[in-house]
Amino acid sequence: MRFLSAAPRLVFTLIAGFMADGGAASSNGTANSVPQHGSTFKITAPATSIAGGDLFVDLADKEPPTLKRPGSVHEFYFTRAIYGSGLASRWTPSWATDYPKADLQFLIGLKRLTNVDAYDFENAIELDDPTLRRFPFLYALEVGYMGLTDAEVNGLSNYLLAGGFLMIDDFWGTWQWQNFEMEMQRVLPGMPIVDLPMDHPIFSMFYNIDEIVQVPNVGLGKAGGPTWEYDGYHPAVRGIFGDDGRLLVAINWNTDLGDAWEWADDPFYPLAFSTYAYEMGINIILYAMTH
């Protein structure tokens, strides 16, 4: 998927700074601002940003709140984890894959289909930023290339143990799994990764999901060919539970929910995949907010 989606993302990346911050953004990318708990906001993270393609002109016109124009406070922020390692392409870091179109497009569905009072815009934060602890839901993807620094390990570990929830998406095959598993052992030592059974509430939280679907990247999905990448033939939803039995991490392996969100507006992208991706994403978010 990375390679197939790299070209359009590159274009978006180049224009991102101008779209998101009125052209004032530095080469670091979008000044991604979120309301902090106070009357002031803080620039939380540098990020490559995409304001949307042709079908998302409306979104592009919606400027995120800035220091000068604070927005209201919301119950939910779709927060994306920024980690310093891994590249999805020559220009795009792994964490920013599908960013922010997937986030924005998913938020539209989340707000329309549920009662969640969600912030309209993307929200990406570094793992070692203390501000991360103000957002109890965290999304991370392409973790097959992830190589966390000690500070990031510490930040993520404390985040999860303090009550945060991590949703993992879009990584494929055996060696990416092994890399991810190794990193998670640094974050949550001694906590095993287990398959979530189909009777787990996460599969019935909002939508009843009977089957774990392998969601292909946009290229494979539109081509109608095989849905897997590398040797990731079978999709899985796994989890890491804390000592108190709480689900800390929900892992979507050998599947790419983010691409399905991102390309849900494409008439050539199969509806079944987008539908499942939205259902699974909503279920996971509602589960995190209610358990």
Partner 1 sequence: MCVGLEQVLGGVGSVITFTDGLPMGQSIFEFLFKYRPVVFERGDFTFLAPWTGLVVALVLVVLAVPTVFQYLRVKGKSSFSDRLILSGFRATVLGLVLFSLFRPILVLSTVVPQRNFVGVLLDDTQSMRIADADGAPRGQFITDEFSPGTDNLLSALSERFLVRVFRFSSSTGRAEDASELSFAGGRSDVAQALDHARQQLSSVPLAGLVLVSDGADNSYKSIDETILALQAGSIPVHTIGLGQRTYDKDIELTRVETPRRVLNGTSLAVDLMVMNRGFAGRTVALQVEDAGRIVNTQDVTLGGDGEAVPVRVIFTVTEPGPRVFKFIIPEQAGELVAENNVQQALIVVEDRRQKVLYFEGEPRHELAFIQRAVKEDKNLQLVTLIRTADNKFWRGGISDPDELIAGFPTTREELFTYQGLVLGSIEASYFTYDQLRMISDFVSERGGGLLILGGRQGFAEGGYSGTPVEDVLPVVLKDPVDPEFFTSVSLEITPAGNRHPVTQLGVDPEHITPWGDLPPVTVINPISDIKPGATTLLRGTGGRGADQVVLAAHRFGRGNAMALTVHDSWIWQMSAEVPLEDQTHETFWSQMLRWLVSGVADRVEAFPSADRVPPGEAVELVAEVEDESYLRVNNTDVEVTVRSPSGDETVTNMEWTIDRDGEYRASFVPTEAGLYEIRVSAVTDGERVESKVSYVESTDLTREYYESEMRASLLERVSEETGGGFYSAADAQNLVEDIQYTDSGTTVVEERDLWDMPVIFLLVLMLMSTEWGYRRFRGLV
- Residues of this chain that interact with partner 1 (CB under 8 A) are 35, 37-39, 71-73, 75-76, 113-117, 130-134, 136-137, 158, 161-164, 205-206, 244, 246, 285-286, 288-291
Nearer to partner 1, 191 or 289 (CB): 289
- Of 79 and 105, nearer to partner 1 (C-beta) is 79
β-pairing verdict for 41-43 and 79-82: unpaired
Give 169's strand partners.
141
Least distance to partner 1, CB of residue 240, Å: 16
Residue 124 Cβ vs partner 1, minimum distance, rounded to whole Å: 18
36 backbone dihedrals φ, ψ, rounded to 5°: -95, 175
Is residue 65 classed exposed, middle or buried when 0-12, 13-18 and 19+ CB atoms within 10 A define those classes? Answer: middle
Listed residue (231, 218, 74) closest to 144, CA to CA: 231
Residue type for position 253: W
Residue 27 vs 115, nearer CB to partner 1: 115
The three state secondary structure string of 127-152 is: CCCHHHHHCCEEEEECHHHCCCCHHH
> Of 95, 99, 74, 76, whose CA–CA distance to 84 is shortest?
95
CB of 113 to partner 1, least distance (A): 6
CB-wise, 89 or 131, nearer to partner 1? 131
Nearer to partner 1 among residue 64 and residue 86 (C-beta): 64
Q: Could you tell me the smallest distance in angstroms from the CB atom of residue 200 to partner 1?
A: 14
Minimum distance from CB of 207 to partner 1 (Å)? Answer: 11
